[in-house]
């Protein structure tokens, strides 16, 4: 059974700092990995999708990497802004279908 862990659970940084969020998983038989952000009481916003054959994806100030052999993914946020404050979730898509297995999330606060 796939288990997904996100560290740290919470992170507080000053504006402008570069930061890395971590996601680890136990089963490397994945099809893809997706990073989401969730604002309080809201739905999930898709940030990046990495297929299992890819090593990284970039979108603006965001860069996500995937290392299946070590069971790890990282989300790098450059030049953080207060608007980046949210909970960030990683989700693994397994090979048996569209079911996503989510981590517990990292709650990010960027202080002005």
Binding mask 37-76 for other proteins (x = CB under 8 A): ----xxxxxx--x---------------------------
Reduced to 3 states (helix: H, G, I; strand: E, B; else coil), residue 43 is coil
Q: Is the peptide bond before 8 cis (omega within 30 degrees of 0)?
A: yes
- Nearest residue (CB) to other proteins, 13 versus 44: 44
Under the binding rule (CB under 8 A), the answer on residue 96 touching other proteins is yes
Q: Which residues are CB-neighbours of 53 under 8 A, at least 6 positions away?
A: none
Interacting residues with other proteins (CB under 8 A): 31-32, 34, 36, 41-46, 49, 89, 91, 93, 96-105
């Amino acid at each position: 059974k796939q288990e997904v862990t996100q560290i740290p659970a919470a992170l507080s940084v000053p504006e402008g700092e570069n930061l890395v969020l971590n996601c680890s998983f136990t089963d490397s038989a994945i099809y893809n990995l997706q990073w989401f952000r969730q604002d309080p009481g809201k739905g999930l916003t898709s940030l990046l999708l990495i297929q299992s054959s890819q090593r990284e994806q970039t979108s603006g100030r965001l860069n996500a990497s995937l290392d299946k052999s070590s069971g790890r993914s990282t989300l790098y946020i450059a030049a953080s802004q207060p608007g980046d404050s949210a909970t960030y979730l990683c989700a693994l898509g397994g090979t048996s279908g569209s079911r996503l297995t989510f981590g517990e999330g990292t709650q990010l606060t960027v202080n002005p």
